[in-house]
Every structure is written in C-alpha cells, then in structure tokens.
Amino acid sequence: MEIKMFAGKIALVTGATAGMGRATALAFAREGARVVMAARREERGQDVVEQIARAGGESLFVKTDVRNPADVDALFQTIMDRYGRLDFAFNNAGVSTSHNPTVIKYDDAEWDRVLETNLRGVWLCMKHEIDIMKKQGGGVIVNTASILGVVGDWGLSSYCASKHGSLGMAKTAALEYCKDNIRINTICPGPIITEMLEKALPFMPTMLEVMAGKTAVRRVGRPEEIAGAVLWLCTDEAGFMIGKEIAIDGGYITY
Ligand SMILES: NC(=O)c1ccc[n+]([C@@H]2O[C@H](COP(=O)([O-])OP(=O)(O)OC[C@H]3O[C@@H](n4cnc5c(N)ncnc54)[C@H](OP(=O)(O)O)[C@@H]3O)[C@@H](O)[C@H]2O)c1
C-alpha cells in the first residue's frame, strides 16, 4: 500500500482558485492531506474541489476575501469546526499591480488595494494560524512573497512594499513562535506563468519575453515548480529552516 507523505494532515491554501495556490492545493491532496482552500471565486474553487475528489482526495472550498476580517474569522471557524486542527498553512493569496508612476505620484486607492491583500491579508490569516498551532503544539506556515520581496522594480512600489513587508513579518513571527514548535518560512518566486502574468498580456504583449529575459534560464516558471518547494518546507526534513526565504526564480538577474 502506498503511504502518502501528508496522510492525516490538514492544509490550508489561500489563493487556491488559480496559479501557484491551485497547483499547491493539488500537490498537498496528492500527498494525502485534506486541503482547505480559500479565495473569492466560488465556482473556480468548486472546480478544484472536484478535481481533487476525482483523484480520490478530500478538500473544502471556503469563499474568503482575505482583506475582510469577518471572512477570515469565518474561514478559521470552519476549519476548526470541520477538522479541529491545522497542520500547514500556505498564505499565498495575492494581487499584482500594473506599472504605476513613481513613489511620490502613486495612486492612493491602488496602494491600499495591494497592501491590504498582500500584507494585511497575510497578517489576518497568520494571527489565526499561529493561535491554532500554538494550542495544538505546532505547525508549519509558508507565505508567498516574491523575488520583488527582496529587490525593487520600477513602478511597482506598492507590490514591492507589500512583499518586502510580508517577508519581514514572517521572519519576525518565525523568531517569536519557533519556541511553540511553529516553523514559518517564505517562498520568493520569480516570474511564473499564471493568471497574474496573463492578465498583463493585453497591456504588454511582450511581457513573457521581458520576464523570461530577467532570468538566467531565459524562461518563466510553472506553478508546479513552486508547489514542490512549499511541500518540502512542510516536511520534517525542513525542520531546521526557520524564518528564511527560498527564491525559486530561474536565476533572476536583479540588475
Ligand atoms: N506569477 C508570478 O509571476 C508571481 C511571482 C512572484 C510572486 N507571486 C505571488 O504568488 C501568489 C500567487 O499568485 P499567482 O501568480 O498564482 O496568481 P493568480 O493566478 O492570479 O492567483 C492569485 C490567487 O489569489 C487569490 N486572491 C486574490 N485576491 C484575493 C483576496 N482578496 N482574497 C482571497 N484570495 C485572493 C485569487 O483568487 P480569487 O480571485 O478567486 O479571489 C487567486 O486564487 C501571489 O501572492 C503573488 O503575488 C506571483
């Protein structure tokens, strides 16, 4: 009989209706975890639930806007009502921004939209996750920042600020809660072909070539190339990895 790596474990994936979140939810399910998926698009979420069910796995979609504290409270209430524990949390929901003017001319509403999703949304989820994991004696949290969480980029100040902030918050929380057997780390993807990049194609048809040109391997990555790293971070083999980031970026050339 095949023994799956995460049999009996409960994993939360935010932003699981597309891209890296979806790929990671499928990967967790393949390894036997029961997966709770959170995002705003109900129909897309149910599609992933069905895909996991067809492969013999178990999952649950909870319609959630991570910017909304009431939604986030309800998400974690559902997890506890259904499973009574949470072993892994992948805080991955995020939005990008189109190129904007420089910092001093940046649009206020756009700044808030990006920061509320990519930073405040992660913080709101982490508060619940850490509380649950402390009470149950441990767990693993992985956040998605970006290669733009460690370097800047022209016209992307809100996105870069949100991702640097997310990385800093995870590093701090990792120090604060490792004594509670909670491991917190961050992945920093380079350009990955997901809806996020595809949405920008009508405005910038050369987007994929430009992004590929920023990597040493001269290609963009696939969501599945991220999922494997997230799963590894959740294993006991990653037990000495605390408050750090992994860049999975095709050898991103930063300048
Ligand atoms: N693609 C890249 O090149 C790249 C590179 C580095 C880092 N990242 C980061 O990787 C993460 C995943 O992005 P992706 O590339 O996989 O993009 P994607 O395909 O656009 O997926 C983004 C996911 O986030 C969810 N989401 C967005 N806003 C949300 C909200 N307010 N509440 C709940 N869920 C929300 C979306 O679902 P709904 O629309 O259904 O809510 C979707 O499932 C993001 O944090 C992104 O910043 C992406």
End-to-end CA distance of the chain: 50
CB atoms within 10 A of CB 214: 18
CATH code at 10-195+223-245: 3.40.50.720
pLDDT in tens, 48-62: 999 999 999 999 999
Residue 221 identity (one-letter amino acid): G
Mutational test site, ligand 1, from 12, 13, 14, 17, max ligand atoms within 8 Å of CB: 17
The pLDDT score that the predictor gives to residue 98 is 82
Name the residue with higher pLDDT: 239 or 100: 239
Alpha-carbon gap, residue 92 to 15, rounded angstroms: 6
144 lines ligand 1 (CB under 6 A): yes
The pLDDT score that the predictor gives to residue 177 is 98
18 lines ligand 1 (CB under 6 A): yes
Is residue 25 scored above 60 in pLDDT?
A: yes
For residues 97 and 119, the answer to whether their CB atoms sit within 8 Å is no
Confidence of residue 255 (pLDDT cuts 50, 70, 90): low
Confidence of residue 203 (pLDDT cuts 50, 70, 90): confident
The pLDDT score that the predictor gives to residue 1 is 67
CB atoms within 10 A of CB 202: 8
The residue count of the chain comes to: 255
pLDDT in tens, 103-137: 999 999 999 999 999 999 999 999 999 999 999 99
191 lines ligand 1 (CB under 6 A): yes
Where do runs of H (alpha helix) occur along the chain? 19-30, 42-54, 69-82, 108-115, 121-136, 157-177, 195-198, 207-213, 224-234
Average pLDDT, the chain: 96
Q: How far is the CA of 95 from the centre of ligand 1 (A)?
A: 5
The pLDDT score that the predictor gives to residue 2 is 78
Q: Which atom of ligand 1 is least distant from the CA of 148?
A: 6
pLDDT in tens, 146-185: 999 999 999 999 999 999 999 999 999 999 999 999 999 9
The pLDDT score that the predictor gives to residue 26 is 98
Is residue 46 scored above 80 in pLDDT?
A: yes
For residues 217 and 250, the answer to whether their CB atoms sit within 8 Å is yes
**What does pTM read for this prediction?**
0.98
Catalytic residues: 159
Distances (CA, A) of 128 to 135, 181, 244, 246: 11, 16, 21, 24
